[in-house]
Homo-oligomer: A and B are copies of this chain.
Amino acid sequence: MYKQRLFTPGPTPVPEEVLLELARPMFHHRTPEYRAMLEQVTSDLQYVLGTTQDVYTITGSGSAAMEAAVSNVVAPGETVIVVCGGKFGQRWSEIGKAFGAKVVDLDVPWGAAATADQIAEVLKANPLAVAVYITQCETSTATLADVEAIGKAVAETAALLVVDGISSIGAVPYKMDAWGVDITVTGSQKALMLPPGLAFIACSEKAWRKIDATEPRAYYVDLKAYRTALAKGFDNPYTPANVMVRAAVKALSMIRDEGLEAVWARCHWLAEALRAGAGALGLELLSQSPSDSVTALKVPDGIDGEQLPKVLVSDYGVRCAGGQAHLKGKIVRFTTMGYTDAWDILAAIGALEMALAKLGHKVEFGAGVAAAQKVLAAG
């Protein structure tokens, strides 16, 4: 018997106390009790996003909030710039096209992050661009963008900076207001220690000016409806996933209690340990700019990269994610965000050693674990 351990970069493990909130009796959402929950969640998300702007809670996947960041913002025929270095950058591009934007893709190799200079250059070449869409952590490659530097470059222009922080916010530093981000999107099932089902979005004043000047092509994700409902007294425009909001109160209180900077430090510490352990086993990182929220490891030559995640889960209870698109069979990905601790990392590295050995890789048992533990012991 192995316990089942979840290392997929979303959904991530959910603390038992949060799960139990889901199981409490059903209640109605047009009540003072629910409004107090939504007020608390809104305030806690402001803390997590680093913003004084209201944060709206949408019942849906992160992609619903991504759509809101396009369909409320961009009129058909307007130009937007999208950083495409993986599956989720491509998603911005797809949504832009679906809503009639002229999408300028800034393609970067999968595993690389676009620099602020590259973005400044594309903005110069496209002076009419109304927005730049980026992904803080490109989950498909475990690559972190320098949002702060990009924020400075975009702030000098009329364009908005829109950040998908779905698999990074709450795991790595993020400061929406200080960094000049105009729209932030995130989701429940990553660093926020909740199941999938809620998406969150916040807009700067600059973003609101553009939204107010744009005819929305949205109803369910019409941001003006969310603004009105929240202002009316912490209401949602449509029936919300109220048990998820109740669970979010609990999960976010855990982040508040630990302290956001301590959470970031923990994710960094765990990611460093994971990277050290994997390195000691001879596994290279895919990313040139690795995120602390998720790590992508290249499968060594001669090892069946589609078998590796299967053996990890079936033989050792360790569920990681494989690669997507052309990275299928080439990488394995492990999250270190959310409800993950040091001993989870040792389990991951221990299982990786055993699965690699089983698949024919030369492994010195304990080498990876020891390397990870050295990092963990250093604190």
**Residues in chain A within 8 A of chain B (CB atoms):** 4, 6, 8, 10-14, 19-20, 22-31, 59-64, 67, 70-71, 94-95, 98-99, 187, 189, 195-197, 216-222, 237-244, 319, 321
Contacts and interface: CB of A to CB of B under 8 A. Distances in A.
Nearest to A24: B19
B241 A196 contact: yes
Given A29-B196, A189-B239, 10 more contacts: A11-B26, A19-B22, A22-B23, A23-B23, A30-B321, A62-B239, A64-B220, A98-B217, A197-B241, A217-B217
A177 to B, nearest CB: 27
The count of identical subunits is 2
Contacts of A22: 19, 22-23, 195, 243
B26 A99 contact: no
Given A63-B220, A98-B222, A28 B319 contact: yes
Nearest to A190: B239
- The winner among A29, A195, A220 for most chain B CB atoms within 10 A is A220
B28 A13 contact: no
Contact of A28 (B11, B29, B98): B11
A187 B197 CA distance: 14
B23 A6 contact: no
Nearest to A222: B98
Top-3 shortest CB links A-B:
A197-B241, A23-B23, A22-B22
- The winner among A4, A14, A70, A219 for most chain B CB atoms within 10 A is A219
Contact of A240 (B20, B59, B196, B222): B196
